[in-house]
Amino acid sequence: MTMISEALGRIKSSATVGISQKAREMRSAGRDVVALSAGEPDFDTPEHIKRAAVAAIEAGHTKYTNIEGIDELREAIAAKFARDNHLTVEAKNCFVASGGKHIIFNALMATLNPGDEVVVPVPYWVSYPDIVQLAGAKPVFAVADARSGFKLTPDLLEGVISKATKWVILNSPSNPTGAAYSAEELEALGEVLLRHPQVHILSDDIYEKLIYDGHRFVTLAEVVPGLASRTLTLNGVSKSHAMTGWRLGYCAAPAHILMPMKKLQSQSTTHASSISQWAAVEALNGDQGFLEEWRAVFQGRRDMVAGALNAMDGIDCLTPEGAFYVFPSIAGLLGKTSAGGRRVTSDEDFVMALLEESGVALVHGSAFGLAGYFRLSYAASNAQLEEALNRIGDFCAGLS
């Protein structure tokens, strides 16, 4: 017998976490597996940030803090939004939680009611629809496939907004596609959103620092200031500063959104770890020089991966503007049989057969709401990527 609440019965566990877990189990059983399924930079947290955390422990910053985060961090966040995003926000409108995911969880759980709708562009980051459903509301999907570069268009957006729409989620650069909106594209979406004053926007900017080919990162509240009073701008140090394990995310939002979030957090985690908060102060105020170096490394990997995949028969890969993912189509491979005798009729069959026969872990596109694709995370060493690409090439060549 399982003991599970009705609310939890509405959702599933994270598919990306599940596949990474299976890859780890295969490794413990002695199999040689290259896992390109996780969304985590392979770099270590920079030394000066680690030292700030040690100093925080030694200075006794080991007690409860404010629910919304220490003043020093909220000042650093306001300064970051001014410096990087040209947003004028006060520290009192900045809020800290245990990871970017926790900010999203707080915002949606604290504001949604049954009957409310949340627009989720497809393909989506796996957690959005499940958190919406956990909150008792309804995700409404807007499918943006390769034809629009995996981006919402004004018509697509207008078509899914209803009187019940409470939030629209935007994620740029995107997990799982790497697509990033330009200022003009955001302005066009902004025009639609300005016509629907009941809608709030959650702008998930967690991959802000990973943007390539000279594209400039832009966020909605910067490009369309008229929407700032109903926009939550989400960010965090997980991806930008290689701090996934520190669990530190933050946002800027108007008081009417932050107040319920604070109430919810006061009855759950209370606040993010005091030590991680002090480390994040250094991450945001300290040297940012390494970001450009990391960005260049990721861009080189993106080019290598997209080039190699496009050279494979049956795979079609757009070159994304940002993040550390590619999301190629495998439409040309479905219906074939693998060298190991497995029928590959879906993207899920493809990633499972590839994992079992060739030891490469990817995530099927349908986990992100779009069948016929897979997501490959290139947040891995060049040697691992080359090995994985060779194996994928051999596996595909073996399909008949």
Ligand X SMILES: Cc1ncc(COP(=O)(O)O)c(C=O)c1O
Return residues touching ligand X (CB under 6 A).
39, 99-101, 125, 171, 175, 204, 206, 236, 238, 244, 249
Amino acid at 262: K
Complex with ligand X: residue 128 or 350, whichever CB lies closer: 128
Shortest Cβ 15–ligand X spacing (Å): 12
What is the arrangement of strands in the sheet containing 200-204, beginning at the earlier edge strand?
94-97, 249-252, 231-236, 200-204, 165-171, 117-122, 138-143
Helix (H) or strand (E) holding 285: helix 274-285
CA–centroid distance for 154 within its chain: 22
Q: Respond yes or no on whether the N-terminal peptide bond of residue 114 is cis (omega within 30° of 0).
A: no
Complex with ligand X: residue 133 or 244, whichever CB lies closer: 244
46, 290 contact by CB (below 8 A):
yes
Complex with ligand X: residue 106 or 238, whichever CB lies closer: 238
Complex with ligand X: residue 131 or 396, whichever CB lies closer: 131
Complex with ligand X: residue 106 or 274, whichever CB lies closer: 106
Shortest Cβ 149–ligand X spacing (Å): 17
Shortest Cβ 324–ligand X spacing (Å): 10
Shortest Cβ 14–ligand X spacing (Å): 9
Complex with ligand X: residue 144 or 333, whichever CB lies closer: 144
CB < 8 Å & 24+ apart, contacts of 128-133: 128/104, 128/169, 129/369, 130/11, 130/12, 130/14, 131/11, 131/104, 131/105, 132/108, 133/10, 133/11
* Residue 361, strand partner residues: 35
User: What are the structure tokens assigned to 43, written together?
Assistant: 């770099």
Shortest Cβ 230–ligand X spacing (Å): 20
DSSP label at 388?
A: H
Shortest Cβ 203–ligand X spacing (Å): 11
